[in-house]
Amino acid sequence: MSAPRTARERVRDEVTKEILAVARAHLARDGAAALSLRSIARDLQMAPSALYRYFDGRDALLSALILEAYGSLAEEAARASGLAYREAGNDLARWLAVPRAVRAWAVARPHEWGLIFGSPVPGYRAPEETVVPYARLAAALLRPVVEAQERGHLAVEVTADGTGAALDGALAPIRQALLPDSATSTVQRAVHAWATLIGVISLEVFGHWRDTVLDPELVFDATMRDSALLVGLAL
């Protein structure tokens, strides 16, 4: 499929990339709600109607951007995870690697973070294909838990209360996809850590730390350290 591409095909790919680049820049500046085909066309010095050769309309373009954002975030998390495992380091360092990378990504792209974890754009449904990068991101985060468990280094909370079975059922899809051999409490605390990660980043990125948390990075690290303990990683 690769070699004998015609000039037309090559130009088409290039223009597609240019459109996406401009759209991404607009998104970063003004947010999803303000994304406009006409203003993108203006920046590209094209007629607005020309964009319809490349995307089916505004919603299709937005979908492409959302998918790009998911992919970029998942890629960044996977990259950070790979790096942490190639370097020397203990469980804590490995656990912190992905959260730090995710935070850095989000701080650099607040609107794209909002596109993924903020209020859904009203009247618009996110494409199904986001499931794959979403799972990749979660897997990168939880890899230290999985590996610590395989080595028998994971502290597991023994929960004896009655909610065990119901909780297990409520978390079945997550266990199956990410933590097949873990105790219910481990799965539950993985979800807890996930919620904490998203929460602490969203609060920072959406401006809620203003005048209250003066050093977001420091507090972020302390929070994710707690999470390491919570999910059972030995420090």
Query: Which of DNA, a second copy, none has residue 92 at its interface (CB below 5 to 8 Å by kind)?
Result: none
* Given 13, 25, 38, 155, the residue binding DNA (CB under 7 A): 38
Distances (CA, A) of 180 to 125, 139, 172, 183, 198: 30, 12, 9, 9, 23
Using rule CB under 7 A, residue 25 touches DNA: no
Token pair recorded at residue 229: 């303990």
Closer by beta carbon to DNA, 65 or else 197: 65
- Looking at residue 120, what DSSP letter applies? P
State the nearest-atom distance from the C-beta of 203 to a second copy, in Å. 6
Closer by beta carbon to DNA, 52 or else 85: 52
The dihedral of CA 174, 179, 181, 184: what is its sign?
Answer: negative
**Hey, is 180 helix, strand or coil?**
coil
Using rule CB under 7 A, residue 47 touches DNA: yes
Would you tell me which residues interact with a second copy (CB under 8 A)?
30-31, 33-34, 110-111, 114-115, 117-123, 163, 166-167, 169-174, 177, 188-189, 191-192, 194-200, 202-203, 206-208, 211-215, 218-219, 221-223, 226, 230
* Residues 139 and 81: beta-carbon distance below 8 Å: no
Closer by beta carbon to a second copy, 48 or else 118: 118
* C-alpha span between 42 and 213 (Å, rounded): 41
Using rule CB under 7 A, residue 49 touches DNA: yes
* Residues 182 and 149: beta-carbon distance below 8 Å: yes
Instruction: Name the residues that contact DNA, by CB under 7 A.
Output: 6-9, 11-12, 15, 35-39, 45-50, 52-54, 57-59
